[in-house]
Amino acid sequence: RLVSDWSSDVCSSDLLRLLGQNAGLYDERFGSALGIVSSIALLLVGVVWSLAVLGSAEEKRRIADEALRESEERQRLAVDGAQIGMWSWHVPTDVLEFSPLCKKLFGLDADQQLSYPVFEAALHPDDRARTSEIIRRSWEERTDYRIEYRTVWRDGSVHWLAALGRSHYDANGKVENMMGAVLDIDDRKRANLKMDEVQARFRALVEHSWDTITVLDLNGTITYASPETRRVLGYAEGEF
């Protein structure tokens, strides 16, 4: 299906919530999006009431068309406001479609023709096999597809994305299509990697220090003792 046709599926609140939680950004960027999506339900209740009390078929069609346009606009605002890129993949024909924002997040041109090999080529080489494996496993287990991976732009820059997808199956149980969304998590991921680097440097400094260094919890229990501390007190590693 075209992007405009399946936006309502991808914009479901549970899918957005899963993506936001997976990216660690639910509170900051997904709250407003979910609020907009949830309000669509109230809109539809009003439409049902209007259709029940208004008699003419023409009037019913007009109300339904207006409701559909408003619903689509609210969903578009929710997605754009949360900076969510949307995608759809018709698996049997390998027809892959990205929304304009999704192409931007992958560093692709707006007129880029897409297929799975094109998508895979845009991924970091170290993430390609893992991505294919997670997709395959999601089909076998009939679960949502969730992953964080790196995409490499044409200028050589590397960007982290969080992706979530949901598969649909035909009557024979074969995968017909996947639909989902991606979110830029580059800032968060780089901050986490920087923190890991700082912690590794600190640990290396402590491990090679001649000072006695210990870490205690709030109850006064030693949770860490440096090698020098263990040597001075006569303890072997793991005895604290």
Which is higher by pLDDT, 121 or 24? Answer: 121
Which is higher by pLDDT, 8 or 231? Answer: 231
Q: Is 98 in contact with 106 (CB distance < 8 Å)?
A: yes
Which amino acid, one-letter code, is at 65?
A: D
Compute CA 164 distance to the chain's CA centroid, rounded to the nearest angstrom: 5
| Number of alpha carbons in the 13 Å side-chain half-sphere of residue 81 | 18
37-63 pLDDT tens trace: 445 455 555 555 555 555 566 666 766
Say if residue 129's pLDDT is above 90: yes
Of the given ranges (34-38, 144-148, 218-222), which has the lowest mean pLDDT?
Answer: 34-38
Q: Is 181 in contact with 19 (CB distance < 8 Å)?
A: yes
Confidence at 30, pLDDT banded by 50, 70, 90: very low
Which is higher by pLDDT, 69 or 146? Answer: 146
Three state DSSP letters for 140-182? HHCCCEEEEEEEECCCCCEEEEEEEEEEEECCCCCEEEEEEEE
Token reading at 11: 């914009």
Q: Is 3 in contact with 179 (CB distance < 8 Å)?
A: no
Say if residue 88's pLDDT is above 70: yes
Taking the CA atoms of the chain, what radius of gyration do you get in angstroms? Answer: 25
**What pLDDT does 141 receive?**
95
Which is higher by pLDDT, 240 or 9? Answer: 240
Helix (H/G/I), strand (E/B), else coil: 97: strand
Confidence at 69, pLDDT banded by 50, 70, 90: low
Mean pLDDT of the 20-26 span: 50
**What pLDDT does 36 receive?**
46
Confidence at 213, pLDDT banded by 50, 70, 90: confident
Most confident of 79-88, 145-154, 199-208: 145-154
Q: Is 209 in contact with 194 (CB distance < 8 Å)?
A: no
Mean pLDDT of the 122-128 span: 97
Confidence at 174, pLDDT banded by 50, 70, 90: very high
Say if residue 34's pLDDT is above 50: no
Q: Is 141 in contact with 135 (CB distance < 8 Å)?
A: no
Mean pLDDT of the 13-35 span: 49
